[in-house]
Amino acid sequence: MADNFLLAQELLSDIKKPNRGGNVLLKLDMMKAYDRGFFKSTRGLRQGDPISPALFVIGAELVKMVVDGYCSLSGQQVNCQESCFLVHPKLPPQRREMIGSVTGFLHKSFPIKYLGCPLYIGRRRVHCFADICNAVTARIFSWKNRVLSSGGKLVLLRSVLSSMPIHLLAAASSPKGVFASLEKVMADFLWGSSEVGPRFQWISWGELCRPPEAGGVGIRSIAKVYDAFSIKL
């Protein structure tokens, strides 16, 4: 999934290049087999099989005639309600309307989520990665009415909250402002709040991320995880 996202993001770097009619990116959502009726389970391809992604590549030329031919040959169907097309913001509106009428898809603007990561054009901006910050905040709000001890909060921080951005960090190159936003939300959750606002934080986030033998509590540092992935890539 990370490789497919990186490939899609790399292709977007050329979307602004001059071209007759403009460059178009189609995001296709294939209908699931269980949404289309009963089927008998037999031996064959399944998720994770190395041949399975190749079947999707057949229809990845992203031309309407090729997609229709792919659907007729494979038996799959495109979910037009969930599919969309994306173009550069400077493409004339008339051209956008024509693409929509030909494909039958809705036009969506960047950034857009693809395989759990934001696809964007231009410079990396914090607002492109707002979904992961909102997801962490929403998870914290779901625990708001629970009576949690300090130890319970530490367990949730180590096992749940700090693991949520891992998929994003493995694939996308995020601005450091995203790390600051995530760590602020997590720190506020750990220390709690009162009627007048967040409580005073007696220990810095960097100190908390140290291992227990070094005086910390072993919370995973998001910035360090990102640096580790960057070195690996």
- Domain hosting 42: range is 2-122
Q: Determine which helix (DSSP H) or strand (DSSP E) holds 198, and give its type and residue range.
A: strand 197-198
Res 233: pLDDT:
44
Q: Sign of the C-alpha dihedral, residues 162, 135, 126, 207?
A: negative
**Tokens in use for 141?**
């709000």
> Are 7 and 117 contained in the same domain?
yes
> What pTM, to 2 d.p., does this model score?
0.57
How many domains does the structure of the chain reveal?
A: 2
86 and 190 co-located in one domain: no
> Is the same domain home to 97 and 142?
no
Model pLDDT, residue 212:
76
Same domain, 35 and 105: yes
Q: Do both 101 and 203 map to the same domain?
A: no
How many Å apart are CA 106 and CA 96, to the nearest integer?
Answer: 10
Decide if 93 contacts 75 (C-beta within 8 A).
no
**Rounded to an integer, what distance in angstroms lies between the CA atom of residue 29 and that of residue 124?**
26
Same domain, yes or no, for 139 and 71? no
Residues 89, 149, single domain; the answer is no
Residue type, 114: Y
167/164 Cα distance (integer angstroms): 7
Alpha carbon separation from 232 to 117, 171, 212, 226 (Å, rounded): 19, 11, 26, 10
- Judgement on whether residues 118 and 26 belong to the same structural domain of the protein: yes
Nearest C-alpha neighbor of 163 from the set 135, 195, 189, 143: 135
Amino acid, single-letter form, for residue 8: A
Tens of pLDDT along the chain (233 residues) come to: 777 888 888 888 888 888 777 788 888 877 765 556 755 656 555 555 555 555 444 433 476 777 788 788 888 888 878 888 888 888 888 888 887 877 778 888 888 888 878 888 888 888 888 888 888 888 888 887 677 888 888 888 888 888 888 777 777 777 878 888 888 888 888 887 766 667 777 778 777 778 877 777 777 666 665 555 454 44
Separation between Cα atoms, residue 162 and residue 225, nearest integer Å: 10
What is the pLDDT at residue 145?
63
